[in-house]
């Protein structure tokens, strides 16, 4: 049962977005107790040299400026930690993820916080969570040879410990929009609350 859901909207479009529309349907289907919203259309700042310097400074040794540089990243990670389920509304842009979603990943993939390196390789630290990725694309078939978005996002989520990932697909909307939407709606109806 989903108690707290973190909804991440990655579409640059706030009106007429299929990924947002389908994410609304997922929220209605799951009926979580609480929804935390993170709309990436509002844009996140790119990580920069100050952010990297702060990130690679031990927490207890960080200056006030370094803590300020990581404040947004800390907030984004706290949103994930608070959620049982992540819902990512993902449009495919030019075969990949929107830059806003890549920037979100840059903020939340932090060594020692959301993953760590061990003798056996990287280990995700955000275990026990579920992710539902609602994908909308005009012509890129999810799982096809030119889909670089969903395999990348699955890898990133697994890297930080989220391995229970379900994908709802409304792909090839420019080719057969009715069939594409119907397929996605059927997948949403099968999602377990």
11 is in an annotated binding site: yes
180 is in an annotated binding site: no
Phi, psi of 131 (to 5 degrees): -125, 140
17 is in an annotated binding site: yes
The C-alpha angle with vertex 63 and arms to 59 and 64, in degrees rounded to 5, equals 110
19 is in an annotated binding site: yes
Residues at the annotated binding site? 11, 17-19
Residue positions forming the annotated binding site for FMN: 11, 17-19
């Amino acid at each position: 049962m989903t108690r707290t859901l973190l909804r991440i909207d990655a579409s640059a479009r706030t009106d007429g977005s299929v990924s947002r529309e389908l994410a609304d349907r997922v929220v209605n289907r799951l009926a979580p107790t609480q929804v935390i919203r993170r709309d990436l259309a509002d844009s996140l700042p790119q990580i920069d040299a100050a952010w990297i310097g702060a990130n690679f400074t031990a927490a207890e040794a960080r200056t006030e400026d370094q803590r300020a540089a990581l404040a947004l990243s800390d907030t984004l990670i706290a949103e994930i930690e608070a959620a049982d389920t992540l819902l990512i509304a993902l449009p495919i842009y030019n075969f990949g993820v929107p830059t806003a979603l890549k920037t979100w990943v840059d903020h939340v993939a932090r060594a020692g916080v959301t993953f760590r390196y061990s003798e056996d390789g990287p280990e995700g630290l955000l275990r026990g969570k579920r992710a539902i990725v609602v994908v909308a694309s005009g012509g890129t078939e999810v799982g096809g040879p030119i889909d670089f978005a969903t395999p990348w996002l699955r890898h990133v989520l697994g890297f930080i410990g989220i391995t229970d990932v379900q994908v709802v697909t409304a792909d090839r909307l420019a080719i057969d929009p009715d069939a594409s939407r119907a397929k996605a709606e059927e997948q949403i109806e099968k999602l377990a609350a």
